[in-house]
């Protein structure tokens, strides 16, 4: 990944910082080291670990092969104050497909496990689910415009500034009401957001895939919260954490152009909630499918 070129072309400092976060240090063959950034909660953001693990895997794969799927588990809470070591296992290098397994380690213990499969491009059968209706992203309020409206809803008023800082590299706009906007009012378990990076990126398909992986963990369980009129961790009415995360990359896309994240939750049970989603380009191409299960617990009195 041509990280220095990407950072230089990005006018936004937050995006440059995120690109630097994904530019892992290679410390040995198949072993990489990454740092963390300040998170909204006192642990490493799951999307960061998933994206960094995919970067590590991608750096051991020929450049003409891109990820078509990943499957991962969050095993332990990550320490944002310590480096993360990513160890890549070269499982298989076939004629069309390459498989990699990555283990992220902190303080001598695995905190995350990822398996990813890469494929050379080939022609094939073609069909997709149609893109659902959604408002034009440019017609929606930015996070800086929308979040202050909910300041009194959050448990800590400073949450607004922390959210804006944590998502500073990404222009993320809600097309539907966010969970903290419908506290106490259960609604259909569906949520839509548009997102893109704040700045242009180089033409590196792996970089765009890793950035979409990073963003995919930000809002996927919103639909679970909406179904029960819960506002989430920022409101203090649930405790949550990602358990596993899977993605399938169907078609080329750019993370610096608008992508519609159409999310829903088919089930919540046993202290867990399931989110599933499709990510479309603005012209209607189905780019990614995402499924995640997470812990969603109501705090005890």
CATH of 3-120+141-297, one of 2.40.110.10, 2.40.160.210, 3.30.9.80, 2.40.50.140: 2.40.160.210
In the numeric block, which tokens belong to residue 126? 């073609």
Which sequence spans correspond to the domains of the chain? 3-120+141-297
| Average pLDDT rounded to a whole number, residues 150-161 | 90
Report the pLDDT value the prediction gives residue 42, as an integer from 0 to 100: 67
C-alpha 9/C-alpha 68 separation (Å) is 27
Tens-digit pLDDT profile for residues 174-187: 999 999 999 999 99
CA dihedral 161, 221, 86, 165 (to 10 degrees): -10
Overall average pLDDT of the 71-79 stretch: 95
The DSSP output letter for 181 is G
- DSSP letter assigned to residue 300: P
Report the C-alpha gap between 10 and 5 in whole angstroms.
9
pLDDT in tens, 96-151: 999 999 999 999 999 999 999 999 999 999 999 999 999 999 999 999 999 999 99
Catalytic residue ranges: 217, 242, 292
């Amino acid at each position: 990944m041509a990280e220095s070129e990407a950072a230089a072309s990005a006018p936004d400092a937050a995006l440059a910082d995120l690109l630097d976060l994904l530019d892992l240090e290679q410390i040995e063959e198949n072993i990489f080291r990454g740092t963390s950034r300040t998170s909204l909660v006192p642990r490493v953001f799951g999307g960061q670990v998933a994206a960094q693990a995919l970067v590590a895997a991608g750096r051991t794969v020929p450049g003409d092969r891109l990820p078509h799927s990943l499957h991962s588990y969050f095993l332990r809470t990550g320490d944002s104050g310590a480096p993360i070591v990513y160890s890549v296992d070269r499982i298989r290098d076939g004629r069309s497909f390459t498989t990699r397994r990555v283990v992220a380690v902190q303080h001598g213990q695995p905190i995350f496990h990822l398996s990813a499969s890469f494929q050379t491009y080939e022609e094939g059968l073609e069909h997709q689910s149609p893109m659902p209706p959604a408002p034009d992203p440019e017609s929606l309020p930015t996070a800086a415009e929308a979040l202050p409206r909910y300041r009194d809803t959050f448990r800590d008023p400073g949450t607004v500034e922390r959210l804006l800082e944590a998502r500073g590299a990404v222009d993320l706009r809600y097309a539907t009401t966010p969970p903290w906007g419908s506290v106490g009012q259960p609604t259909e378990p569906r949520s839509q957001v548009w997102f893109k990076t704040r700045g242009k990126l180089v033409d590196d398909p792996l970089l765009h895939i890793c950035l979409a992986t990073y963003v995919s963990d930000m809002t996927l369980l919103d639909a679970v919260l909406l179904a029960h009129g819960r506002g989430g961790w920022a409101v203090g009415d649930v405790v949550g954490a990602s358990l596993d995360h899977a993605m399938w990359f169907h078609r080329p896309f750019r993370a610096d152009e608008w992508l519609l994240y159409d999310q829903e939750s088919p089930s919540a049970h046993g202290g867990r909630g399931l989110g599933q989603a499709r990510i479309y380009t603005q012209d209607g191409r189905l780019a990614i499918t995402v499924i995640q299960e997470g812990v969603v617990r109501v705090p005890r009195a």
